[in-house]
Amino acid sequence: MKKIMSILVVMLFVLTNSVFAGAQTEATEEKVVLNVFNYGDLTTPEGQAWLTIKDEFLKQNPDIVIEDDSQYDETYHQKLQALLAAGTVPDILYAWQSGDRLQPLLDAGIAIDQRPFINQDDYFANSMTGFGPNGEMWTVPIGVGAHHVMYVNTEILNELGLSIPETYEDLKGQVDTINNAGYTTIAMANADTWVMGTCLFSTFLGRYGGAEWITDVYKGKAKFTGDVAVNALKMVRQLYVDKVLPEESVLTDYGTSLSMFINDEAVYMIDGGWRAGGFDADFASKVGWIAFPAIPGEKYAGSINGGVTPGYAITKPATEDPAKFEAAKKLLSFISGEYAHRVRAETQGVLPSYKISGSIVYKEGTEAQGEFLNNAALVTLTMDNMITGDPVTITNTGLQELGLGTKTAEEVAAEIEAAMMR
């Protein structure tokens, strides 16, 4: 019996030690320690890019030590909550420039204007929009992108003897040919509620309302019950009625839509510019990038919605210690600078917001997105970049209900507006 007990005790000891596992880096004297909270999965190109950039910075700045943590998706947001609630705010963190994802930082009072820390001329003008009430830029974005792209499988299109549709009527006319040949018209992941709102609905809003409309709504100068939004909602419904979007689109989840498209089962796919990362080189060569055809009654032809990607920001607490502040500024410039952008463009396929000098070999798909974005007649905002909380959830659910036909455009508009008012 005693023997068993002692074995148990030893086991417990070993177990509890592994329980309290957790490495911690020690800050040595003379070196400044920067605490960075990063977003990303280290096993993906995104995560690898971060490591490359960080290592180069450390080489160039031997007197700075970086303690970094990378989290992804859900855990990122939960960990951030934890950090904020516990009061241990990182010095630099990855953040969104507006919307729901930024809100916790604003609430905690740690978000500060990043404009004094960078030279804005180094960046493309359209990436330097400030979303704060006085034009503050809460983060320095590391990229730009189109949030709406209508991908075309040109091989199937040619096989069916069709050409790129220029108006909605054109597209509608193609539906029967496509279906009779056994293909799906548009692969779109409308089971995931955000997709319609981010990748198509916002474009419709832009077509009817122009670049200022969403900002106007945010400021209370326009309403969702007005013509712009109601017509955009009606247009969404119309897509289902005309079978341009198949009924099962509302069932298609995010992995399935890509799967359908790259397996030559659908002629078109509507998604964001980032999705092109899922095409291999062979497939990418037969994909065309277009904006959604002209819709009836549109005022701003050819507009798409897009915006900047998230980026990095120095937090308020980091500004309090002079040595730390200096180090933080250096790090921010570096991870938002030429080298970093180059790395990301080459390995990740992120379209840089920085004006990179010299030539780069972009990762496949990046150039196409760059061209697409540059050729766009107008780039408007994406709805959930400006509007946060309940209205977004209700919009997204409402868009699904439009797909199912369980609510009318006016009803959905009224619900969204009611949520905005609260």
Among 35, 139, 153, 193, which residue sits at the site for another protein (rule: CB under 8 A)?
193
Q: Does 191 bind another protein (CB under 8 A)?
A: yes
Provide the 8-state DSSP code for 240.
H
Which of 32/392 has CB closer to another protein? 392
Q: Phi and psi for 265 in degrees, rounded to 5? A: -100, -15
Which residues touch 318 (CB under 8 Å, ≥6 apart)? 34, 89, 91, 92, 324, 325, 328
Number of H helices, E strands in the chain: 18, 12
Q: Does 388 bind another protein (CB under 8 A)?
A: no
CA distance linking residue 146 with residue 254, whole number of Å: 18
Provide the 8-state DSSP code for 304.
E
Among 104, 130, 288, 302, which residue sits at the site for another protein (rule: CB under 8 A)?
104
- Give the tokens for residue 386: 């400006």
CB of 37 vs another protein, minimal distance in Å: 12
- # residues contacting another protein (CB under 8 A): 54
CB of 196 vs another protein, minimal distance in Å: 12
Q: Does 303 bind another protein (CB under 8 A)?
A: no
Among 92, 102, 186, 262, which residue sits at the site for another protein (rule: CB under 8 A)?
262
Q: Does 386 bind another protein (CB under 8 A)?
A: no
CA distance linking residue 1 with residue 273, whole number of Å: 67
Among 6, 78, 158, 285, which residue sits at the site for another protein (rule: CB under 8 A)?
78
Helix (H, G, I), strand (E, B) or coil at 270: strand
Return the range that interacts with another protein (CB under 8 A); candidates 47-55, 237-245, 253-261, 354-362: 253-261
Q: Locate the DSSP E strands across 188-309.
A: 266-271, 287-290, 303-308
C-alpha torsion angle, residues 354, 358, 362, 365 (rounded to 10): 70
Q: Does 316 bind another protein (CB under 8 A)?
A: no
* Contact footprint for another protein (CB under 8 A): 1, 8, 11-12, 15, 18-22, 43, 71-75, 78-79, 81-82, 84-86, 104, 107-109, 182, 184, 191-193, 247-248, 250-256, 258-260, 262-263, 278, 389, 393, 397, 400-401, 404, 406
